[in-house]
């Protein structure tokens, strides 16, 4: 199983929407007769790759897979059927498939007389695909909320100017984090006021070839000339102000697992109040404004004991000298919110 | 000189109001015939200690001192006279005395026919006594401004409650920093609203034997029953709202070199606007309030390009788990403000 996990974590595998999966086929004497891993959406699944390598040696073999073989026909056929057809005798999986439309692979295998088992190194397998696992278990994408703030909690000055609170180094770092998600989300107000392009750009400031889906949520009509509607990537306008409604739609109708949310103070407050912020990334810029827009809007919290408490998971200084910003990663404190 | 610097930095020497000083006496053949360091206010100066050790061997010796020998009679007599009387042939100092009332030692020595030199390892000697050096050079104390803030820049909730924004670990850390200063300063408003005792407490939460001076600034009369007026330490009420006036008085009339300033948003804004904040220490608590008192009051900054820019000098996570706060130390960016 360790080998299968290593295969799944092979470098260069693009993340999302498909999970990272590894598969090892063992002959009855324990010899490895086939290996494979999933290279990303549109490519064969790990099991199919391994079966191809093994050929006739798959008959009577044991398949060790990091994720329960799929049971549905998507862009590829169901892996459960392929394993049965190849004559595999036993299938051991780490993580049960969390995706309700693909699950049931082990049941299909067992019904066909294949010996099945699961649970070995399941935590490690879940950690391979945290957003995939989260999204299927919660029926909505994992939400990373990113905001930039001054030391005194301001996201813009009194006249509305906000370019730039965060340093160039912090903005480059943001692009690295955006690239790990499959969706970028802002509100209509941000599009009207800041007109961001919402693309992932590389160190040379050019858009990367693979771009997350751009999503704008809110009821207002938007000027089609806004940069978010350019041809650099796909864009979706969700006509709702309800965070959970938007997230549910992104999961159910658009298969999204990880939203990088860069909303302004009001929309951020709505997400926080709805309890749908799973991770906070903030860049603290070493500057003071004393007035201007607060980074977070009203949360309806009257007193200190009701404060929304988070737990720090990472503190990193991004950039050097006068470009240095402090990046904090946090998660809602357990037992809170 | 290195040995003299090491002596000056001997552990256990209390800081302030006197500088840390070390002295080595060398015979003409280079042998060390005497050593000494200043143990703190009320004790003999480093030179006097070294002369006592050397006895008659001081005649014709070279005195290597980290700070220019004093030329005035304070609680002890002038060291320049003592060196002349002992027959020292040469005096080499690292740092010229920055204290205007004690300076002139080298001139006195030279006039008496003693060979003098200065400047060797001067930077290292200045670093031994940064607040002492700063205060004398600027005719006001060095100001460390400390504030606690939520992730979204709030120092209190909408109903005014602020106990506690910072974690117990951060508050213990604050007491360590307070103990390095000779003065603690707040405004009358903080005394009225928060009623702090303003003492330095140890890990057992009991006040330390040596307490900094407690200072309250502002024009209002205060209730003498406020905790800051208890018998735990000396307290001064400065009847002014002008930061520079208060600091000048603390230097000139009270011999203060390092102020630990814990003022609220309005007074902090006044200090920042007056350009008399030399160091910022902030404890960022991983919580969100969304409303309440901003940690910093209006600075009269209209637009982002006028933001008061700082440079990060240290980032430390204080405390663990849910008690973890992020402590940032910063200094005004060079060429700014």
- Give the range of the structural domain holding residue A27, as residue numbers without chain letter: 2-129
Residues B224 and B193 in one domain: yes
Residues B145 and B110 in one domain: no
Residue A134 lies in a domain: no
Tell me if B241 sits within 8 A of B217, measured CB to CB: yes
Could you tell me the CATH number of the domain that includes residue A269?
3.40.430.10
What is the Cα–Cα distance from B172 to B195, expressed in whole angstroms? 18
Residue A337 lies in a domain: no
With CA atoms as reference, the chain B residue closest to A269 would be: B290
- Closest-CA distance, B74 to chain A, in angstroms, reads 43
Listed ranges A9-18, A87-96, B68-77; the one with the highest mean pLDDT? A87-96
pLDDT, tens digit (0-9, with 9 covering 90-100), for A97-110 = 878 888 889 999 99
- Closest-CA distance, B122 to chain A, in angstroms, reads 26
Residues A242 and A103 in one domain: no
Q: Which residue, of B59, B94, B129, is where some domain finishes?
A: B129
Residues A182 and A289 in one domain: yes
Task: Please indicate whether residue A47 is annotated as part of the active site.
Answer: yes
Q: Is the pLDDT of residue B169 over 60?
A: yes
- As for how many domains chain B has, the answer is 2
Residue B111 lies in a domain: yes
Residues B223 and B122 in one domain: no
Give contacts of B 123-162 with A, CB under 8 A: 149-154, 156-159, 161-162
* pLDDT for the residue numbered A336: 47
Q: Which residue, of B102, B129, B156, is where some domain finishes?
A: B129
* pLDDT for the residue numbered B99: 84
SS3 A240: coil
Q: Is the pLDDT of residue A317 over 90?
A: yes
What is the Cα–Cα distance from A211 to B332, expressed in whole angstroms? 39
Residues B13 and B69 in one domain: yes
Residue in this structure with the two tokens 């208890």, named with its chain if needed = B230
Q: Is the pLDDT of residue A17 over 80?
A: no
Cα distances from B297 to residues A108, A148, B97, B251, B267, in angstroms, run 66, 20, 38, 26, 8
Residues A156 and A125 in one domain: no
Residues A203 and A323 in one domain: yes
What is the Cα–Cα distance from A128 to B141, expressed in whole angstroms? 55
Residues A30 and A119 in one domain: yes
Test the A interface: residue of B145, B269, B286 with most A CBs within 10 Å = B286
Q: Is the pLDDT of residue B260 over 50?
A: yes
Which pLDDT band, with edges at 50, 70 and 90, does B305 fall under?
Answer: very high
* pLDDT for the residue numbered A335: 60
Residue B134 lies in a domain: no
SS3 A35: strand
With CA atoms as reference, the chain B residue closest to A148 would be: B152
Pairing of strands A142-150, A115-118: unpaired
Strands (E), B227-307: 235-238, 258-261, 279-285, 287-288, 293-294
Q: Is the pLDDT of residue B62 over 50?
A: yes
Partners of residue B312 in chain A, C-beta under 8 Å: 286, 317, 324, 326
pLDDT, tens digit (0-9, with 9 covering 90-100), for B202-235 = 888 888 888 999 999 999 999 999 999 999 999 9
Residues A106 and A169 in one domain: no
Residue A162 lies in a domain: yes
Question: Tokens representing B105?
Answer: 């030692």
Residues A71 and A170 in one domain: no
* pLDDT for the residue numbered B336: 47
Could you tell me the CATH number of the domain that includes residue A18?
3.40.140.10
Are A290 and B312 an interchain contact pair (Cβ–Cβ within 8 Å)? Answer: no
Q: Is the pLDDT of residue B90 over 50?
A: yes
Average pLDDT (B254-281) is 96
- Closest-CA distance, A121 to chain B, in angstroms, reads 26
Residue B337 lies in a domain: no
Residue in this structure with the two tokens 């009269």, named with its chain if needed = B300
Question: Considering CB atoms only, which of B152, B302, B311 is closest to A286?
Answer: B311
Q: What is the dihedral of CA B309, B314, B320, B324, to 10 degrees?
A: -10
* pLDDT for the residue numbered B337: 42
Q: Which residue, of B99, B129, B159, is where some domain finishes?
A: B129
Are B304 and A151 an interchain contact pair (Cβ–Cβ within 8 Å)? Answer: no
With CA atoms as reference, the chain B residue closest to A325 would be: B312
B164 at interface of A, judged by CB pairs closer than 8 A: yes
- Residue B122 parent element (H or E): helix B122-128
Strands (E), A96-176: 115-118, 142-150, 154-156
A163 at interface of B, judged by CB pairs closer than 8 A: yes
Question: Considering CB atoms only, which of A150, A165, A296 is closest to B290?
Answer: A296
What is the Cα–Cα distance from B207 to B232, expressed in whole angstroms? 8
Partners of residue A333 in chain B, C-beta under 8 Å: 286, 322
Q: How many CB atoms lie within 10 A of CB B119?
A: 12
Q: Is the pLDDT of residue B335 over 80?
A: no
Query: What ipTM does this complex have?
Result: 0.87
With CA atoms as reference, the chain A residue closest to B148 would be: A152
Q: Is the pLDDT of residue B254 over 90?
A: yes
Greater confidence (A238 vs B15) lies with A238
Strands (E), A38-122: 62-67, 90-95, 115-118
Residue A77 lies in a domain: yes
Residues A229 and A114 in one domain: no
Residue A199 lies in a domain: yes
Q: Is the pLDDT of residue B325 over 50?
A: yes
Q: Is the pLDDT of residue A337 over 70?
A: no
Greater confidence (A71 vs A147) lies with A147
Are A305 and B161 an interchain contact pair (Cβ–Cβ within 8 Å)? Answer: yes
Q: Is the pLDDT of residue B162 over 90?
A: no
Test the A interface: residue of B283, B307, B322 with most A CBs within 10 Å = B307
Taken in order B126, B127, B128, B130, the sign of the CA dihedral is positive
SS3 A52: helix
């Amino acid at each position: 199983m360790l080998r299968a996990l290593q295969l799944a974590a092979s470098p260069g595998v693009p993340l999302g929407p498909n999970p990272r999966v590894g598969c090892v086929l063992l002959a009855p004497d324990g010899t490895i007769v086939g290996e494979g891993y999933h290279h990303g959406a549109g490519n064969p699944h790990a099991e199919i790759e391994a079966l191809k390598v093994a050929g006739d040696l798959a008959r009577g073999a044991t398949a060790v897979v990091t994720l329960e073989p799929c049971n549905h026909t998507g862009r590829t056929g169901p892996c459960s059927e392929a394993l049965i057809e190849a004559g595999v005798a036993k299938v051991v999986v780490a993580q049960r498939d969390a995706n309700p439309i693909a699950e049931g692979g082990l049941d299909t295998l067992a019904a066909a007389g294949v010996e099945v088992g699961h649970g070995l190194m399941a935590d490690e397998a879940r950690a391979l695909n945290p957003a995939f696992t989260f999204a299927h278990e919660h029926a909505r994408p994992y939400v990373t909320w990113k905001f930039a703030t001054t030391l005194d909690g301001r996201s813009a000055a009194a006249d509305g100017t906000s370019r730039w609170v965060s340093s160039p180094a912090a903005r480059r770092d943001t692009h690295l984090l955006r690239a790990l998600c499959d969706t970028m989300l802002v509100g209509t107000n941000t599009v009207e006021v800041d007109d961001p392009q919402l693309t992932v750009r590389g160190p040379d400031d050019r858009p990367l070839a693979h771009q997350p889906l751009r999503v704008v949520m809110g009821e207002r009509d938007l000027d089609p000339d806004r940069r978010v509607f350019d041809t650099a990537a796909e864009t979706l306008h969700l006509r709702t102000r309800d965070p959970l409604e938007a997230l549910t739609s992104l999961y159910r109708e658009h298969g999204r697992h990880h939203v990088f949310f860069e909303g302004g103070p009001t929309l951020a407050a709505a997400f926080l109040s709805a309890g749908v912020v799973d991770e906070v990334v903030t860049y603290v810029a070493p500057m003071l404004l004393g007035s201007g827009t607060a980074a977070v809007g009203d949360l309806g919290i009257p007193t200190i004991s009701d404060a929304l408490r988070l737990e720090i998971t990472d503190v990193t200084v991004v950039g050097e000298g006068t470009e240095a910003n402090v990046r904090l990663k946090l998660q809602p404190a357990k037992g809170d919110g």
